Every structure is written in structure tokens, then in C-alpha cells.
Structure 1
Amino acid sequence: MTQQGVRWTTDQVLALAPDAASRAAGGRLATAGPWSGVGSSDEGAVWGLCKGSGSEPYRTVVDVADGSGPAYRCACPSPKLPCKHALGLLLLWSGGGVAAPGATAPEWAERWLAGRRERGEGRAGTGAAPGRGSGTADPEAARRRALQRAGRITAGATELEQRLADLLRGGLAGAEQAGYGLWEETAARMVDAQAPGLAARVRELGSIPSSGPGWPVRLLEECALLHLLDQGWLRRESLPDGLAATVRARVGLPASADGPPVRDRWLVLAQYDAADARLTTRRIWLYGTETDRTALLLSYGAAGRAPELALPVGLTLEAEVSAYPGAGQQRAALGRRFAQPATTETRPRGVTTSRAAARFGEALSDDPWLDSVPLTLGRVVPVPDGDAWQLADADDDTALPLVPGAGNRAGIWRLAALSGGAPVTVFGECGHRGFTPLTAWPTGPGPAVPLH
């Protein structure tokens, strides 16, 4: 959790379970029924009282702010770490069942959290119950847990490599006949291996067969990227530090925004939501008007609920942001705010369409699994290209195709109306499928126009 209220996904929580029985038991406690007094803080703590078999509810608190993994405290006698109550509380939190950060922790939870801060426990967890010891962290135990998880991920990546080899040996046509069940079962195996990032990519594979003309090519491309990620994990010790951090993040290991805080006047470039059956993800792009850097904020909400963080497009916010680890990563956490968002005439600096394509290629060297990079195009004109559209550079003969799709149609027409045949400035995401416009500014004075 960060100050912007980022929550983990269900797969990320389930990947913490020590075994399948704990995962199932935690899932049964992921509803509001057995819980009372739940809350969360800006500092990254979640707490609650879980009704058990005894007369007193189990006091459960989790510190999720540490990048090496959460730390737990529960009054139950279970020797497992995390116990089913901690898993259930985290699942409740990840699904939006815990109020937005900002609450004051109860005395019993604050006492443990304060003790962790005073002892500098930082990167280790404990399963001891309140009142049954000091809960002093054991660095050696934390190291063993990290090694155990790495071993599980390695076993999962090795198994996934074999399944990919079997798929290619049998031919891609077999993927169409096998149906989605095979992929879901493989994804569940990756969750068992505590690798939720691999699980998510496997599920994406399952949606490709029979998805339209050219699906075998797309399936082969995604299999190659998944193979590359497996090999990156298996050979992570030989990778440069930045790329190794990217591999860990792509596999699904939790990380915290440990970069130094950068204070700037951040222009809100774009904000849009993407939803699936379990989660709504909000992406907010910021541009540092003084540092000339771009940052991405992510905020989550349970399916059907809006994420907590909302920033109006076109305003500036004086604040600090801290970067997450990984080569070429733009994701950051929003920290201290120094003023209320204000209107501005500031616009990001644009590049040519040819330079935009080159930047995407350069970014792939840092993160081969990137779908797109944030870019601002200067002086482009939207023009039709058969049944599709493209952004033509007003100063040369190059152009970028716009990503097709019904979801983009309204934004493209809004962009065409704003341009009226004249050059405009457009911010969006540039990837292998083309450019997705998110916000535009007219040639002359005028506010930012959201397109998504």
C-alpha cells in the first residue's frame, strides 16, 4: 500500500500462502462476515478482528509497506506464516472490503507497528501472537522464506517451460482444441508457485486461440515473451541489476517505491480505467514540468467499485513521487502533496512520430515485456487510412497508426474534431500495435481534451 491507495491483486495475495490448504481457508475468510473493526493506514498497515471458535476474536494486523514482503501478527495459534486470518484480511483488503487508508490503528495494532519501527524490523515478518513475546524479527528466517519463495517460483518457471515446449511440439492447432481450461489450470499452478505475474500472462495466452484471423502468430509471439520471462528468472543472477528488478516485478514479486522522492509540479496527462471480472485498475499519467519526466500512478478497486485515487486531467499538482525499481519503469507512488491541484497552460514537450517509434524500440531493451511507452506527439494531424486512422507528422512524411478498436472510436472522432485538419499535440501510449491517443491540446490556446 502506498499513499495513493494501491492494492494488491487476488493472485498476489494468494501467492503468499504457504500451502493449498491455507489458500483455501484464507479464501473462506475473505468476506466481511467474520470481520469487525477493519481498517488501513496511510503508512501501509491493515488490521481487523476475526471471529473464531473462541470467545475473543483473533486480532490480526499486516504491514504491507515493506518491499521484501508483508509482515504479519495474529493472535491465533497457527504456526503457518501467513496464517489463514492474515490471508483472509489481505484478500478482503485487495477486494475493496477495507476502507480507504487514513484510519488510526487500534492500540493493539499500533503497539506492534510501533515496535517494528523502533526495532527497525523493516523487512521481516512474525507470526507470534500479541502478548506472547516481543515479535522480534529473525533476519535468517526472513532470508529462508525469501529463498523458499524463489525456489517455488523457479520450480513453476521450469514447469511452465516444459508446458510451452509441449505446446510447440504438438503444434499450435492443439491450443485451439484444448480450450481455456488447460490455460486456467496452468495459471493456477503458477499461483501455487507464488508467481502471480506468470499466472496473469498464462491467462492472457488462453484468450488468444480462436480470437480472430492471425491468432497463431499472436500466440507464438506471446509464448516467446513468456519463454523469455521464464529464462530471465532462471538466469536472473547474471542479469544487470535494473533488468533483474524488472524480471522480479514481471514475475510478480512485491516491490515498494524505494526511489528518492522527486518534488515537482506534476501535470496530469491522462486518467483511465481498465476493468476485468475481479479488479478495476486506474492508470494516471503525470508529467514533471521541471524534471521533464513521466510517471505512472496505479490505483485499484474491486470489480464494480471505482479506485480511490482520482486526478483531473489538465491540472498540475505540486507533490513528491517515488519510483518503483526496474529498468526503464515509469511506475511511481504519490507522496506528500504541497498544494491543491491548479489549472495551468503548461503542455508536455512533443516529439516527432519517427522519434516516438524509436523511443519504443529503445524502451524494449530495458523491458522486453512492455506493451507500450508514454509519449507526447507534437504537431500531428489525424487522418483516415482506409478503415483505420493514423497520426501524420505535419512537418515530414511519417505517420503512426492508431490502435484500432471500438473502445477508441469515440476518442478518435473527438481528436479529429479538435484538429479540424490543423496540427495538434497528442499524449498517448505508443506500442507494437500502434498509438493510443489519451489527451490532446489544440494548436492555439485551449484546455486539455481527454480522449479515453
Structure 2
Amino acid sequence: MARPGSWPECGTVAADGGGTSAVWGECKGSGSKPYLAAVHLDGGEGPAYKCSCPSRKIPCKHVLALLALWSGGEVEKRDEKPEWVNSWLSGRAARKQRAAVAAATPVDPEKVAATLRAREETVAAGIEELRVWLNDQVDSGLAEVPRLEYGHWDRMAKRLVDAKAGGAAGLVTMLPQRGGGEHWPDRVLERLGLLHLLVDGYLSRDGVDERTRAVLRSRVGISTRTEEVLSSGERVKDTWRVLGHREGLTPDGMRLLRTWLRGAESDRWALTLTFFRPGESPEPPFRGGIEVEGELAFHPDGLRAVRTDAMTERPVSRPEGGDVEAALDSYALALAADPWLEAWPVVLEAAAPAREERWYLADRNGAALPMDTATLWSHLAVTGGRPATVAAEWSPRTGLTPMTLWDEDGKATVL
């Protein structure tokens, strides 16, 4: 693919101070339309990549081929560039400028508090209606669930969306997803219980600290704007190891990319979320396989974070890991703070794949957790089945999904 003939249209964009700011190209594919690929080289936050192909790899093979051509001197400077390149670079510049302005502009705390109070009143009315609806579901009994059409659940979800409680609406839409097997009543009851816990916690006025209140707001669907986080959020300076990315879906069909980071000194976890439409390539704030030195601004829930400024990048060093027991203890603490967590990052030391009816990842003590096989063969190809330090995302429903591996010499491989 890294041949001039595969790229009938390509070029570079000059930087203000000389050199190359961006590389772009249109690669011939199997379809009638070419793949549109571009790399922003001097955006102040490390390289950024864009491609119209559906690959989940970041960067994808088209971007790598384009960079290979450019590094070999096969891509020439072009005075004019396509509109899609202009739009992408302009959008990146605008977002960077907005972030800089937001960081420099103080937020009026009284105005923010008033806006939040008004939003919470609207949401509270919807959550109160949800409480009554949940009681009706329990009164009707779980035996009725298989007979219910999807519209039964969708009506309540739409009512919550109207009340600006999109997070709670997403939990309602999950209720009819029973799955097969004889244990579906357990799964439905669990989801009803989590919804009841959310309702009870959100409507409670006593005994809820500010951090828990922030988690509840986030889970019902009250988000904090990035500008507010950059202006007044808690800031933590550290060397942040990027331990991996995992892709998922939102209830409304949007795709999201979770990026997990861990502070080398603070030992604190941080999560960044990147939302994108199906068919688009995400633009995460951090690449895999690196660590960055600088500040992160945290949302009120204390977990989700925002990149604040340019950071120093270098290859990621091996983090300290633990055994399976320590990983589950970490997950239990996180679940106590946020019972609606879908996944949690863990780092296992000297962990190796093992098979007994299904695949597991076992520590040196023989304790093991089931593996999601999405990255299994890449894992085996890299390690040969030998023990390694593994950064993975843990979910009781899907198991462990390895994201990054470190061999005995400390070399990192992003899966």
C-alpha cells in the first residue's frame, strides 16, 4: 500500500515556522471511493490521525502507508489541499483554541450552580416518574417480561430523555436485552436493582457526599462541560502512563473509545472518553504505548479526566502490577464508589494465558480470571504463552481484555 501508485492524490501542508504541518492522501481501495487519510504532525499534542476506513487500529494501515511514503520523500508539498483536509485541520485548531480560552477564562460559580440546580429539578421530575414505573414492573412480576414488546421499555426511555436524564434512559433500554439461557430473570432483576439504586441515590437528600453526588449526576445523564472542567476541575500533575484503549457503544448508537491512564507517582486512575460516529475513526487525546508528563483536569466524579495542555511524550514504562486478588480488590473499591461501572482497568504481573474449557489469564499464584478472546491470538503471538505484565480491562460480563503487554525487558506492545 505504501506505493505512489496507490495514492493518486497526496500532499503535505507547510507549517508556519517551516517544515511539514500535515500529510494527507487519498488511497485507492476496493470500492469506488478512495480512503481519505491524514496526519497532523505539529498539533502541539503529538501526531493525530484521520482515516475514513472502518479499521479500529489507530493509526490504521492507510495512515502508516502514507507516513512511509512521506518519510521516503514520495509526498510533495501542495499549495492547495482538499476541503476535507481543511475542515479537519480547522476543526482541530478551533478545539485547541476553545480549550485554551476555557482554561484562561474563569467560570462564574454562581452561574454554574444556578444552571445545575435548574437541570437537576428537571431531571428529578423524570427520576421520580421512573421510581413509580419501577414499582409497577415489580408488581407485575418478572414472568411478564418475555411477553412485553420493546415499545413498553422505549416509552419510559423516551420520557427520561425528555426529562434530560439520558443516562437513566440508557439503563432502561438495556432491560429487555435478556440474552439466552435459563438465568435471564437474574439479569433483568439485577438491572432493575441498579436502576432502583440510581433512583434512590439521586433523589436522596441526606448522607450523600459531593463525590458520590457527582457520580449520580453523571449516571443519570448530567454531564459537566469540558470548559468547566478545565477552568475549575481538580488538577493533578504526574507522569501518566497510557495503559490502553477499549471501544464500546453508547445506548444511542454512538461509538466511544475509553482510554485508561495511571499516574506513576499518585497511582491514580484516569479515564478519557472519545465519542465518534460509526464509520469514523476516533481521535483519542493520547496514543497507546506512551506516557505523558503534565496535568490532567478531573471531572467531579474523580475518574474521568481532560487533557489540559501540551505534554512531554516518551515510550511507556512498565507499571507496577499485582495478582488477581489485588485486581479484584481494586475493582471492588471502584464498584463501591460507582456501582454502575461497566469495566475497570487492572494491571497483572507475571500473568500467562491458560485454558481449561475456556481461556483464562492466570497469575503466579494460580488464581485466574476468564479472558475475552478479542485480543487472545495477538497476546499469544507476542508472548508465546510466557508470563508478562498485562494491562487489561476487566468486566464480569465479558472477562479480561488485555490492552498492553510488557515483556521481561520492559518492552511494551499495544494490542
TM-score (norm 2): 0.69
Tell me the equivalent position of 2:340: 369
Tell me which residue corresponds to 2:126.
156
- For the residue of structure 2 that corresponds to 1:351, the secondary structure is coil
User: 1:304 Cα shift?
Assistant: 2.4
Question: Which of 347, 350, 353 does residue 324 from structure 2 map onto?
Answer: 353
Partner of 2:413: 449
- What is aligned with 1:124? 111
Match for residue 303 of structure 2 among 330, 340, 347: 330
Cα distance in 2, alignment partners of residues 245 and 204 from structure 1: 23
Q: 2:166 aligns with which of 196, 199, 202?
A: 196
Alpha-carbon offset, residue 434 of structure 1? 6.1
Letter in 2 for 1:195: A
Match of 2:246 in 1: 272
Distance across 2 between alignment mates of 1:268 and 1:448: 11
What amino acid is aligned across from residue 111 of structure 2 in structure 1?
Answer: A
Where do 1:425-444 residues align within 5 Å? 425-433=389-397, 435-444=399-408
Q: Counterpart of 2:94 in 1: which secondary structure?
A: coil
Given the alignment of the two structures, is residue 383 of structure 1 paired with residue 357 of structure 2, yes or no?
Answer: no
Is 1:320 paired with 2:307? no
Query: 2:91 — aligned with what?
Result: 100
Matched residues, percent identical?
A: 32
User: Which residue of the partner structure matches residue 424 of structure 1?
Assistant: 388
Deviation at 1:389, TM superposition (A): 1.2
5 Å matches for 1:36-55? none
Contact 1:266 1:286 survives alignment (8 Å): yes
Distance 2:249 2:95 in 1: 31
**Structure 2: which amino acid aligns with 1:100?**
G
CA-atom RMSD in angstroms: 3.1
CA gap of 1:323–1:246, structure 2 versus 1, over 3 A, is: same
**Aligned residues of 1:271 and 1:311 also touching (Cα < 8 A):** no
* Greater Cα offset, 409-418 or 153-162: 409-418
* Distance in 2 (alpha carbons) for counterparts of 1:306 and 1:289: 29
Cα distance between partner residues in 2 of 1:186 and 1:442? 47
The amino acid across from 2:414 in the alignment is P
The residue identity in structure 2 corresponding to 1:298 is: L
Count residues in correspondence. 321
* More displaced stretch, 180-189 vs 168-177: 168-177
Q: Is the 8 A contact 1:313 1:450 kept in 2?
A: yes
Tell me if structure 1 keeps the 8 A contact 2:256–2:273.
yes
| Match of residue 367 from structure 2 | 398
CA 1:433/1:278 → structure 2, altered by over 3 Å: closer, same or farther?
closer
Q: Structure 1 CA distance, aligned partners of 2:96 and 2:291?
A: 32
Change (3 A) 1:362 1:104: closer
State whether residues 236 and 247 of structure 1, in contact with CA within 8 Å, keep that contact through their aligned partners in structure 2: no
Match in the other structure for 1:7: none
Aligned counterpart in structure 1 of residue 274 of structure 2, from 299, 309, 328: 299
Q: Does structure 2 conserve the Cα–Cα contact (< 8 Å) formed by 1:424 and 1:440? A: no
> How far apart are the structure 1 equivalents of 2:378 and 2:235?
37
Change (3 A) 1:220 1:193: same
Counterpart contact for 2:245–2:403, Cα < 8 Å: no
Contact 2:318 2:410 in 1 (8 A): no
Kindly tell me: are residues 103 and 242 of structure 1, through their superposed partners in 2, closer, same or farther at Cα, counting changes over 3 Å?
Answer: closer
- The AA in structure 1 aligned to 2:247 is D
CA distance in 1, matches of 2:281, 2:110: 31
Alpha-carbon deviation of 1:418? 3.0
Q: Which of 184, 193, 211 does residue 242 from structure 1 map onto?
A: 211
- Counterpart CA distance in 1 for 2:90 and 2:203 is 39
Q: Which amino acid aligns with 2:194?
A: L
> How far 1:147 sits from its partner (Å)?
4.0
Is the CA contact 1:354–1:399 (under 8 Å) kept in the aligned structure 2?
no
Q: Give the aligned partner of residue 261 of structure 1.
A: 235
Shift of 1:212: 4.6
In structure 2, stretches of 5+ residues that fail to align are 1-43, 45-86
**Are the structure 2 counterparts of residues 146 and 315 from structure 1 closer, same or farther at C-alpha, using a change threshold of 3 Å?**
closer
SS at structure 1 position matched to 2:174: helix
Say whether the 8 Å CA contact 1:349–1:378 is kept in structure 2: yes
Q: Distance in 2 between matches of 1:167 and 1:185?
A: 14
Label 1:343 to 1:303 Cα distance change in 2 as closer, same or farther (>3 A): same
Q: What does residue 178 of structure 2 align with?
A: 209
Aligned partner of 2:148 among 178, 181, 184: 178
Partner residue in 2 for 1:27: none
Name 2:190's counterpart in structure 1: 221
Q: Can you list the C-alpha shifts for 1:294-321, whole angstroms capped at 9, x where unaligned? A: 2111111233222333533211222321
Number of the residue aligned with 1:413: 377
CA separation of 1:363 and 1:210: change in aligned 2, threshold 3 A: closer
- Residue 325 to residue 422, structure 1, CA distance change in 2 (3 Å): same
* Distance in 1 between residues matched to 2:118 and 2:236, nearest whole Å: 35
Contact 1:164/1:223 (CA < 8 Å) preserved in 2?
Answer: yes
Q: 1:261 Cα shift?
A: 2.3
CA distance in 1, matches of 2:168, 2:182: 26
> How far 1:231 moved relative to its partner?
0.3
Cα distance in 2 for partners of 1:304, 1:122 equals 39
